[in-house]
Structure 1
Amino acid sequence: MRYMLFLLLFLFEAVSAQEKSLSDGFVYLDEKIPGIVYDIRYAGSNNFIGKPVSGYHKPQAILSEPAADALLKVQEELIQKDLMLKIFDAYRPQQAVDHFIRWARDKEDTLMKAQFYPDIPKSRLFQLGYIASRSGHSRGSTVDLTLVDANTCKELDMGSPYDFFGKISHHSAPGISETQKKNRLLLKSMMMKHGFRPYAEEWWHYTYKLETYPDTYFDFPVE
């Protein structure tokens, strides 16, 4: 009996600790949008750094509640087209952004250059806007995402991979196929319809216009 009480107390404290780690006004996307597909790159090594990023303790996606509500509407409409959203990143702690800054200053670390920035000198990533010392993700209403087939979960062809640093990732990129243009336009139109604005240099990056915390950069971990 004493063991059972101890176990229940432990579980209650664990759940409470997780709830406390999530700031007020934020939600887990998989709780708001059941069945949503994740590929949280910064929690693993398949990213432009090549290792897990500071602050990503678990492959979870967190967003401000109003932005998550709007994203739910996008998902509900996409389901009618046999499509779904796939999330690469959402809320990003400031410590993760600081990790990016430290990495950018290390000129010798080009482990993932061939995959993510083959045509751009690492020294120009800040200048060209691919990395910033303050990220809209840290305000909690920005999300990186793509479209997938609802039956197979296979990604639609967008013409460039997620987090590829180059002109081909721009919304107005020349040289992509009509199918790729159509897929990008579909994602863009759906996101804008439900209150998100695009970022010209990255087809996957959207920010909810009515940001809950437009001037606050959070640093609680993703866990």
Structure 2
Amino acid sequence: MKQLYALLAIISAVCSAKNLWADDHRPKDFVNLNAIAPEIQHDLRYFYDHNFVGRRIDGYNAPVCLLTGQAAQALKSVEDHLLPMGLTLKVYDCYRPQSAVDDFARWAKNLHSMKMRTEFYPEVKKDQLFNDGYIAYRSGHSRGSTVDLTIVPAGSKIPTYDPKRRQINCTSPATQRAPDNSLDFGTGFDCFSPLSHPDSQDVSPQQRANRLLLQSLMVQAGFKPLDTEWWHFTLEKEPYPDIYFNFPVED
């Protein structure tokens, strides 16, 4: 009986500990970004095939951007600064369920699956993706206040992805890379390369200026950047800093 009580105590402690995800529990304060800032474009790569895996990722049941209400309102404030410049935001990824993170981890361990290597990680050995920090078992996206995004001209159209198009290294000039209506930030989205680091000095002055514009507006709105991805930002005062959710992405 003592062993049973000890086991129950351990289970209780684990369940109350931080850094657990809540399966299928969608808090009421998660919102569809389109309802808050309809001018922001959506190019949600993990619902479609144009990503480093090359297929839809588990947990993405609809091409919608879900975020905590605080993060969505903060993005709207960034959008309000960009629109008078003839620019707008475009999101690549928002809330990401733990099931999607697990899908990435399984893919990374499958060294025979190299479908999109030429575009997204041509200079990185796949067996080093965990060690180099490109793939992890947890993601800030699962907390609901992290977003991957870029700046595009207002009114521009998101190019249709052609899976038959020859893959080009994501660090190549923008005119050669897979079509994207983004301003030129020096690499494509999800480019596994040091060139994607926001402070890389190996990009052009205009590309650095574009990165500075995005980062300055996002920081002003209360987000903090990631030092390895120019497109990645997390709300400083995120409401769920220790919870990794696992409900699916859907309306």
Fold conserved (TM > 0.5)?
Answer: yes
The answer to whether the aligner puts 1:197 opposite 2:201 as a matched pair is: no
1:104-127: CA deviation from partner (whole Å, max 9, x where unpaired): 110111111101000000111111
1:161-184: CA deviation from partner (whole Å, max 9, x where unpaired): 000000110012132111100000
- Structure 2 residue corresponding to 1:123, chosen from 127, 135, 139: 127
- 1:21 Cα shift? 7.8
Which piece of structure 1 moves more, 163-172 or 147-156?
147-156
Richer in helix (by share): 1
The answer to whether the aligner puts 1:91 opposite 2:95 as a matched pair is: yes
Cα pair 1:91 1:141 within 8 Å, conserved:
yes
User: Structure 1 segments of 4 or more deviating over 6 A?
Assistant: none
Distance 1:152 1:45 in 2: 21
Partner residue, 1:213: 240
Distance 1:138 1:217 in 2: 5
The answer to whether the aligner puts 1:50 opposite 2:77 as a matched pair is: no
Aligned pairs for 1:6-17 (under 5 A) are: none
1:123-171: CA deviation from partner (whole Å, max 9, x where unpaired): 1111111111000000000000000011335310000000000011001
Distance 2:155 2:43 in 1: 17
- 1:35 Cα shift? 2.3
TM-score with structure 2 setting the length: 0.79
- 1:22 Cα shift? 4.5
Cα pair 2:25 2:245 within 8 Å, conserved:
no
The answer to whether the aligner puts 1:23 opposite 2:27 as a matched pair is: yes
The answer to whether the aligner puts 1:171 opposite 2:178 as a matched pair is: no
Distance 1:31 1:124 in 2: 40
Partner residue, 1:152: 156
List alignment gaps of at least 5 residues for structure 1. 1-19
The answer to whether the aligner puts 1:71 opposite 2:98 as a matched pair is: no
Distance 2:47 2:238 in 1: 25
Counterpart of 1:193 in structure 2: which amino acid?
Q
TM-score with structure 1 setting the length: 0.89
Counterpart of 2:236 in structure 1: which amino acid?
K
Distance 2:85 2:92 in 1: 21
List alignment gaps of at least 5 residues for structure 2. 1-23, 158-180
Distance 1:214 1:74 in 2: 22
Aligned pairs for 1:28-47 (under 5 A) are: 28-47=32-51
Task: Give the RMSD, CA atoms, in angstroms.
Answer: 1.2
Partner residue, 2:136: 132
Distance 1:94 1:23 in 2: 15
- Structure 2 residue corresponding to 1:162, chosen from 170, 173, 189: 189
Distance 2:110 2:156 in 1: 40
Q: Size of the alignment, in residue pairs?
A: 204
Secondary structure (helix, strand or coil) at the match of 2:141 reads helix
Distance 2:25 2:112 in 1: 35
1:84-121: CA deviation from partner (whole Å, max 9, x where unpaired): 00000000000000000100110111111101000000
Counterpart of 2:79 in structure 1: which amino acid?
Q
Distance 1:29 1:168 in 2: 29
Cα pair 1:23 1:220 within 8 Å, conserved:
no
1:47-91: CA deviation from partner (whole Å, max 9, x where unpaired): 000000000011110000111111110001111211100000000
Distance 2:212 2:42 in 1: 21
Cα pair 2:186 2:203 within 8 Å, conserved:
yes
